[in-house]
Amino acid sequence: MEPVLELLMALKTAQREVERRFGRLLRPLGVTAVQAEALLIIADGQPVSIADLGARMAADPGHPSRLADRLAAAGWIDRRPSPHDGRRTDLTLTPAGRDLVERIVEARQPFFDRAAEALAEAGLIGVLSDVRRLLDLVRELPDPD
């Protein structure tokens, strides 16, 4: 297998495995890993537009809007037209959403603590800067015609 493809597949597999474990961890809270990620992004920068949510989640077109619909139906976010741009829909947390975000952060902390210890023991603490550089390099590659 080509080394570049093997690296990309390994990163994708690692991401899926973390998401699977987060899914199990978050199940008692009644939220999926993808929903939790969206709620955390919204909490981090309220208000967040649907387009910004999609960009931060690296989501396929249409997915952020459907995800926002599900989060709103659950009562975790409000969707409102932006007062500054009529084409933009702003997303903010409801009180129930803020409560859920607090519980998500609390539930994931032991996992993050164990993961940080494992990365340190494996000598991989500096890998984040390498992955960021890899992402920058991939973004600079020309699109195939």
Q: Residue with structure tokens 């597999």?
A: 13
Angle 95-121/33-45 helices, nearest 10 degrees?
Answer: 110
Using 50, 70 and 90 to split pLDDT, how confident is the model at 59? low
Three-state DSSP class for 79? Answer: strand
Q: How far apart are CA 92 and CA 48, in angstroms?
A: 7
For the entire predicted model, the pTM comes to: 0.81
Q: What is the mean pLDDT of residues 112-137?
A: 86
Pick the CATH number of 3-105 from 3.30.360.10, 1.10.10.10, 2.40.37.20, 2.60.120.200: 1.10.10.10
Percentage of the chain with pLDDT > 70? Answer: 97
In this predicted structure, what is the pLDDT of residue 43? Answer: 96
| pLDDT tens profile 32-45 | 988 999 999 999 98
Structure tokens that stand for 125 in this block: 């603490």
Whether residue 58 is predicted with pLDDT greater than 80 in this model: the reply is: no
